[in-house]
Structure 1
Amino acid sequence: MSKGKVTRENILNKAFELASVNGLESLTIGELAKQCEMSKSGLFAHFNSKDNLQISVLEHANQIFTERVIAPARLNTSISIEQKLTTLLDNWLGWNHSFQGSCMFLDAWKETGAETPPTQVVLKKTIETWIGYLTIQVAKGVENGEFRADLDPKQAIFELYGLYLSAHLFYSIHGEQASYEHFWQGVKRQIASWKQ
């Protein structure tokens, strides 16, 4: 790997760390340059704009999300779809709890007007990909007879994502333990309904 790529990778690791604690919007070239012990102009040369910096951090975060959340569930090919989904959901909550219970992708999400900023385009694609991946898993469970034949995978994931959003909110109000317990109660009840 070239020196420039190593430097960029180090910058992105530090930027990801800062965005995980303070949110993506708080990430500026000036603050990041200070944290990386670089000049603003030196750091700016790697990204050319705040938008490009934030997009690069989101893409970096997406790679880490795939490594931490999806890859471990993919490795074990002998488990059922229900077990795979449970592993994915557990990893997903773990991803959040590593950021003080807050999902970086959701925290960066903003409602926009007619013009959608580039960071929001990347965020939308990231979340759509994740929802699509979960939907495919439920569809596989329907195909192999694990879940009932009339189960609508899109509706199932819509409801499952609602539990996740509730857990996200409950974490900030009631703490990790209450959020975790309510989430898993809801997930168990929902998965049981997929089989009836």
Structure 2
Amino acid sequence: MSKGKITKEYILSCAFELASENGLESLTIGELAKKCGMSKSGLFAHFNSKENLQVSVLEYSNAIFTQRVIAPARVLGDTDIEAKLKQLLENWLGWNHSFQGSCMFIDAWKDASSESSPIQKALQDTIAVWIKYLTIQISKAIESKQFRADLDAKQATFELYGLYLSANLFYSLQGQQASHRHFWQGVERLIASWK
């Protein structure tokens, strides 16, 4: 890996930490330069704008999400999709709580001002890939008769995502314990209805 790529990777790692603590919208070239121990102009040369920096952080976050959420569940294979889904959900909640109880992707969605901005596009692409991945897992379970044949995989994913969004809100209002309890009760009830 070239020195420039190593430096950019380091910058993105620092930016990821800052965005995790304070939200993507609060990420500035100046604050990031201080954290990285670089000059503003040196850091700016890597991204050319705050918007490019934020899009790069979202792309970096997506790679981290894949490492932390998806990769550990992939090793379970497809023999027991329910167990694989539960591992994905456990990892997903852990991802959420690594951001002081709030998901960077959700917060960035709220903060972005224009639907047509590159940040919105990056968010939409990231979330669409995750939704598709969940839908594929549920579809595999239908095909292998682990879930009932008439289950609508897209609707099932919609309902599962709704539980996650509720858990995110309840975490802020009632804390981790209540959020987790409600989430897992909902998941168990939902999966039972899929069989």
- Scaled by the length of structure 2, the TM-score of the pair is 0.97
Paired amino acid for 2:2: S
In structure 2, the CA distance between the partners of 1:87 and 1:79, relative to structure 1 (3 Å rule), is farther
Paired amino acid for 1:103: C
Task: Provide the C-alpha distance between the structure 2 equivalents of 1:79 and 1:103, rounded to a whole number of angstroms.
Answer: 30
**Pairwise CA distance, 1:77:** 2.1
Per the alignment, residue 138 of structure 1 pairs with 138
Task: Provide the C-alpha distance between the structure 1 equivalents of 2:37 and 2:86, rounded to a whole number of angstroms.
Answer: 42
Q: How does 1:60-99 map to 2 (within 5 A)?
A: 60-77=60-77, 79-99=79-99
Q: How does 1:42-57 map to 2 (within 5 A)?
A: 42-57=42-57
**Pairwise CA distance, 1:6:** 1.0
Task: Provide the C-alpha distance between the structure 2 equivalents of 1:178 and 1:151, rounded to a whole number of angstroms.
Answer: 29
Task: Provide the C-alpha distance between the structure 1 equivalents of 2:143 and 2:79, rounded to a whole number of angstroms.
Answer: 16
Q: How does 1:99-114 map to 2 (within 5 A)?
A: 99-110=99-110
Per the alignment, residue 154 of structure 1 pairs with 154
Q: Deviations over 1:124-149 (max 9, x none)?
A: 00001000000010011110001011
Moved more, 68-77 or 185-194: 68-77
Q: CA RMSD in A?
A: 1.2
Stretches of structure 1 that go unaligned for 5 or more consecutive residues are: none
- Checking the alignment, whether the CA contact within 8 Å between 2:78 and 2:84 is kept in structure 1 is no
Q: Deviations over 1:71-130 (max 9, x none)?
A: 0011122640001000000000000111111111011004755x6110110000000100
- Scaled by the length of structure 1, the TM-score of the pair is 0.96
Paired amino acid for 1:119: I
Moved more, 102-111 or 55-64: 102-111
Task: Provide the C-alpha distance between the structure 2 equivalents of 1:73 and 1:89, rounded to a whole number of angstroms.
Answer: 9
Stretches of structure 2 that go unaligned for 5 or more consecutive residues are: none
Per the alignment, residue 191 of structure 1 pairs with 191
Paired amino acid for 1:136: I
